[in-house]
Amino acid sequence: MSNPNIEQLAAAQKANIEVMTALLRTAFNGVERLTALNMAASREFFNNTVASTQQLMAAKDANEVAKLNSELAKPGVEKLVDYSRSVYDLVSEMQKEITSVMEAQYSSFTQNAQSAVEKAKSSAPVGGDVFAATMQSMLGASTKAFDQMTSMAKQLSDIAEANLQAATKVAAPVKSATAAAAKKAGK
């Protein structure tokens, strides 16, 4: 192997390490943010449950309990929708960051690999064209796999968005039902 090929391989390895580091950093940041979001939501849920239980236990009659149940349900639904929206936003942002890094690096990788295959093909001994054809086939397969992965990431993003929209649609009638129940209990 000639010296320029070793230098090319070293540069490619360095670029791959940088890409992996960027992807891992994005993943860890995402996990950290999701964990913080979950901890905050859990803490708020616990505090609200304790406060709600105390309010219900202080109720003097059934009408007051019914009224409190209606009043306490509304903020819970709104918080669930807000939490779902926050998770969706976080996942969407991470997906965009990862896809951006992958697309930029994959484009560069395929161009460099195609160039290396062409150089190897032109300077290869007899039978080198078989190696070049194999490499080109592998590049084609990896491009197809990358396209499928990008498509799958888009589908997952679409599913998450559809779930968020469905949760928002469900929350609207629940909000109005709890408001109506609160008015009825107050009479």
Report pTM: 0.57
Is there a contact between 183 and 121 (Cβ–Cβ < 8 Å)? no
CB atoms within 10 A of CB 123: 9
Among left, alpha and beta (phi > 0; psi -120 to 50; other), residue 48 is alpha
Residue 59's φ and ψ, nearest 5 degrees, are -65, 145
**Residue-wise pLDDT tens digits, 9-43:** 677 777 777 877 888 888 888 889 989 999 999 99
Name all contacts of 74-83 with Cβ < 8 Å and 24+ positions apart: 74/174, 74/175, 74/178, 74/179, 74/182, 75/48, 76/48, 77/171, 77/174, 77/175, 77/178, 78/171, 78/175, 79/41, 79/44, 79/45, 79/48, 80/167, 80/171, 81/167, 81/168, 81/171, 83/37, 83/41
Distance CA 162, CA 154 (A): 12
Distance CA 93, CA 89 (A): 6
Q: Say whether pLDDT at 1 is over 50.
A: no
Residue 186 is predicted with a pLDDT of: 53
Angle formed by the axes of helices 62-123 and 3-58, nearest 10°: 180
Of the pLDDT bands very low, low, confident and very high (cuts 50, 70, 90), residue 46 is: very high
Largest CA distance in the chain: 95
Of the pLDDT bands very low, low, confident and very high (cuts 50, 70, 90), residue 159 is: confident
Instruction: Give me 165's structure tokens.
Output: 């929209």
**Residue-wise pLDDT tens digits, 80-124:** 888 888 888 888 888 888 778 777 777 776 776 667 666 666 665
- Using alpha carbons, select from 185, 14, 179 the residue that is nearest to residue 105: 14
Return the domain boundaries, the chain. 3-186
Query: Who has greater pLDDT, 5 or 41?
Result: 41
Dihedral, CA atoms, 141, 142, 148, 152, nearest 10 degrees? Answer: 150
